[in-house]
Amino acid sequence: MTPEFNLIKQYFTRPTRNTTLGVGDDAALINIKKGMELAISADMLVAGTHFFADCDAYQLGWKSLAVNISDMAAMGANPKWATLAIALPEVNNAWLAEFSGGFFACADAFNVDLIGGDTTRGPLTISVQIMGEVPIGKAIKRSGAKVGDEIWVSGKLGDAALALQHMQGILTLPKDMLTSCAKALHAPQPRVALGLALRDLAHSAIDISDGLLADLGHILAQSNVGAVVELTRVPHSAYAEFTTNLQDENYRKMMLAGGDDYELCFTAPLEKHYEIERLSERIKLPLACIGHVNACHGLIVHGLNNEVLNIKDTGFDHFS
């Protein structure tokens, strides 16, 4: 047996739940239920670009799968299968145990099977492909937003960006605040239950990985519509001990453009408003209506005094 084979067997082979044939053969086999189609997406994480090479391996394992599951949630797809292609600079058993521990913790939490992949030597790079099921025709696309739709956001935005700025030494967070923000950055919770429920409610959806304005911008561009967003309605943490307020330019930027939030942004017709509020209670996830879709060209954000905010350098460049 080659060392690679042992490594795969030891760290990346677990019993599967949704799979005909998993890790170990030349290819995996899956059985798609009748009436369903496959949703497929991939995300690559490169050390030094997407994460610090010396970061916590367990958290990295969790996050590398979680960000992929988040794409399934944004499509209204039920995540089922993942593959993992990983380049490792060396075989470090302690690191591999932690990494695979975090990866499988996330896989277990969302009922995803790891069904294959590739392992090679090289600069630390993690490439995950995720596959999920959605009833034919039911996937929620970026292109479906309609004039008059309300715009909604789950959870709260900006915490992950705060944690990142703390790590970069740009600001210093108080201890308890650092704990909750670091959780948002390192252990994102993909909004699968929300995505599944939105199949029958939303016209369009996206997961917020690059910041609210940039990602909402993708919906607007692909749907050929515009939007108005009210800053005061964008959900964010209220930390009394810290100057995280909407007057603060840097904080505003983190909320609107920070990225790494992995919340869902979606649009839905006005008549679904109360159903969405009831859904929020049912799945115990705050959902905030932050604005509406219009027939104009572009995105306008209203500030604290209803003034039009300058959002040029917030990653929103689709209409510039």
| CB 304 to ligand ADP: min, Å | 49
Options 118-126, 181-189, 195-203, 259-267: segment touching Mg ion (CB under 5 A): 118-126
Minimum distance from residue 96 beta carbon to ligand ADP (Å): 10
**How is residue 44 annotated by DSSP?**
E
Site string for Mg ion, 195-234 (x = CB under 5 A): ----------------------------------------
Q: What does the alpha-carbon distance between residue 154 and residue 193 come to, in Å, rounded to a whole number?
A: 12
Instruction: Classify residue 308 by its DSSP letter.
Output: B
Output 118 or 307, the one with its CB closest to Mg ion. Answer: 118
- Give whichever of 115 and 293 is closer to ligand ADP, judged by the CB atom: 115
Least CB distance to Mg ion at residue 115 (A) = 14
Neighbour-count burial for 4-21, b at 16+ CB within 10 Å, e otherwise: eeebbeebbeeebebbee
The binder of 216, among Mg ion, ligand ADP, none, by C-beta within 5 to 8 A per type, is none
Burial class (CB in 10 A: 0-12, 13-18, 19+), 307: exposed
Of Mg ion, ligand ADP, none, which one does residue 8 interact with (CB within 5 to 8 Å by kind)?
ligand ADP
Q: Residue type for 272, please? A: K
CA dist list (Å): 246 to 185, 237, 295 = 21, 11, 28
Among residue numbers 229 through 288, which ones bind Mg ion (CB under 5 A)? Answer: none
Q: Which residue minimizes CB distance to ligand ADP?
A: 116
Q: Are strands 226-230 and 113-121 parallel, antiparallel or unpaired?
A: unpaired
CB 47 within 8 A of CB 172: no
Which helix H or strand E contains 83, and what residues bound it? strand 78-88
Spatial distance between the Cα atoms of 148 and 153, rounded to a whole number of angstroms: 16
Tokens at 314, concatenated: 């917030």
Distance of closest approach, residue 118 Cβ to Mg ion, in angstroms: 4
Stretch that binds Mg ion, among 115-123, 127-135, 153-161, 205-213 (CB under 5 A): 115-123
Per CB under 5 A, 24 contacts Mg ion: no
Rounded least distance, CB 43 to ligand ADP, Å: 15
- List residues near ligand ADP by CB under 6 A: 4, 8, 12, 23-26, 84, 86, 114, 116-119
| 3-state class (DSSP) for residue 18 | coil
- Residue 86's binding partner among ligand ADP, Mg ion, none (Cβ under 5 to 8 angstroms by kind) is ligand ADP
Of Mg ion, ligand ADP, none, which one does residue 116 interact with (CB within 5 to 8 Å by kind)?
ligand ADP
Residues in the chain: 320
Q: Nearest approach, Cβ of 9 to ligand ADP (angstroms)?
A: 8
Longest dimension (CA), the chain: 68
**Strand (E) or helix (H) holding 199:** none
- The CB-nearest residue to Mg ion is 118
Q: Which of 108, 118, 275, 317 binds Mg ion (CB under 5 A)?
A: 118
CB of 85 to Mg ion, least distance (A): 8
Q: In 3D, which of 194, 167, 192 has the Cα closest to residue 178? A: 167
- Kindly list the residues in this chain that would bind Mg ion in the complex (CB under 5 A): 118
